[in-house]
Amino acid sequence: MQTIRGFRDILPEQIRLWQKVENLAVDLFTAFGYEEIRIPILEKTGLFARSIGETTDIVEKEMYTFDDRNGDKLTLRPEATASICRAYIQHKMYATEPVRKFYMTGPMFRRERPQKGRYRQFYQIDAEVFGLDAAYVDCELIFLLNELFQRLGLSGLTAHINSLGCPECRPRFTRALLDFLEARKQDLCDICTRRMDRNPLRVLDCKVQTCQTALTGAPATVDYLCPACEDHFKTVKTTLEKQGVDFSVDKSLVRGLDYYTRTAWEIQTTSLGAQSAVAGGGRYDGLVKELGGPDTPAIGFAIGFDRLVEIMEQLTPASAPPGPDLFIVALGDPAMELAYHLCCDLNQAGIRTDTDFRGKSLKALMKRADKLNARYVLIAGQAELAENALILRNMQTKEQVSIPMDGLRRKIETLLKNK
Ligand code: HAM
């Protein structure tokens, strides 16, 4: 039996980088006042179709959707933003305190063509802020990403930012874009010609080479911003500049989801081949209302956890996991019983202890303790049990002391805690 295409196991040998990233991210989010939220993996299909957009690649081609036994259409979440909005509305969080900041990590599912950095089950670290429309929040999120990457020791990542405008300025842009596309209709792929009528902005996100070529010189949203959006974007740019956050304005960045308004961004890398986006985010000031809640500005981002770890793997050589404080070498049945209880008791007392119940030889068990990188070894052989004293060996100095069985646990505790 094998995993299905695009799905993979993340093995203990790989997991330490994931834990390092997650711990740092949680520290940073907590410091900035974000709270953890956990959302279901399965939601009604309509939630994603309405928020991400019917004409996006995600909804048109990539969602894992199936009919439940009662006929409901359900989908494995392809992203977290829609679900977090649903939770914000469903639990009427806006009524008690409209300003809320959330983070979550977990698996997402998109049926894309698998390759390095692109999986069908992948993980995101997601952050969302509700109830704040100030441009400073946009900056806070970009700064936060930047800070996280710096703390992880990553360089060579650039924030590409753009403004997609709002319902006020979008119609003027859409008209200009449609005029541009009409003149090049014959060069566009079938999907784009279809999308032109329903959602012309999506054409700008097409990956087909002929479309990309045809789109050279297409109108850009930043050139059609209303004064309020212009002002908002200007504050974002000047604030980031003042902070020394590295970014570049990318007029062609439209993102692959429909809900965005105003600032949108991607953090890109050159070290992952074709998969250049390590994180993406933006404002979605209209989505809470669209999903049935009150008019609430919102903004967020998601980091591609798999991609981030892949970049780190290129930089960080794998290091051995920290070993146990104590490994008990138990030779024979009575020793194994003793080892079992001692192992549980010492772990309860906060001393990381491990043992082995295979009944192997002294030599084999010492080898195992060495491999595990244990600080100390407690030897419980027949001779030691007969003499009512076990041997404690410091694996680094090779020093050995004899410890009487009477009050053994407490003596080991004192010895190891003082070292
Ligand atoms: P997204 O750009 O679709 O945005 O995904 C965010 C990140 O997830 C990407 O930049 C990429 O690193 C990673 N990612 C996406 N698809 C895959 C895949 N198939 N395999 C591996 N990694 C992948 C969103 O999902 C939005 N919900 C972000 C957001 C939050 N916007 C506002 N709030």
Contacts of 406 (CB under 8 A, 6+ apart): 388
Q: How far apart are CA 404 and CA 252, in angstroms?
A: 74
pLDDT for residue 205:
87
Q: Which of 124, 162, 267 to mutate to test the pocket of ligand 1 (most atoms within 8 A of CB)?
A: 124
Residue 105's SS3 state is strand
pLDDT for residue 164:
97
pLDDT for residue 321:
80
pTM: 0.93
Show the DSSP H helices in 72-134 as ranges: 81-90, 93-96
For residues 41 and 150, the answer to whether their CB atoms sit within 8 Å is no
Q: Which of 108, 205, 258 to mutate to test the pocket of ligand 1 (most atoms within 8 A of CB)?
A: 108
pLDDT for residue 253:
95
Per-residue pLDDT reduced to its tens digit, 183-215: 999 999 999 998 888 899 999 988 889 999 999
Give kind and range of the element (H or E) at residue 247: strand 247-249
Ligand 1 site residues, Cβ closer than 6 angstroms? 79-81, 110, 112, 117-119, 122, 124, 126, 128, 256-257, 277-282, 284, 300-302, 304, 306-307
User: With left for phi above 0 and alpha for psi between -120 and 50, is residue 273 left, alpha or beta?
Assistant: left
Q: How far apart are CA 416 and CA 278, in angstroms?
A: 43
| Residues across the chain | 419
User: With left for phi above 0 and alpha for psi between -120 and 50, is residue 131 left, alpha or beta?
Assistant: left
- Atom index in ligand 1 nearest the CA of residue 126 equals 30
DSSP string, 319-380: -PPP--SEEEEE-SHHHHHHHHHHHHHHHHTT--EEE--S---HHHHHHHHHHHT-SEEEEE
Q: Which residue has 């695009």 as its token pair? A: 6
For residues 360 and 346, the answer to whether their CB atoms sit within 8 Å is no
Q: Mark the ranges of the chain whose per-residue pLDDT is less than 50.
A: none
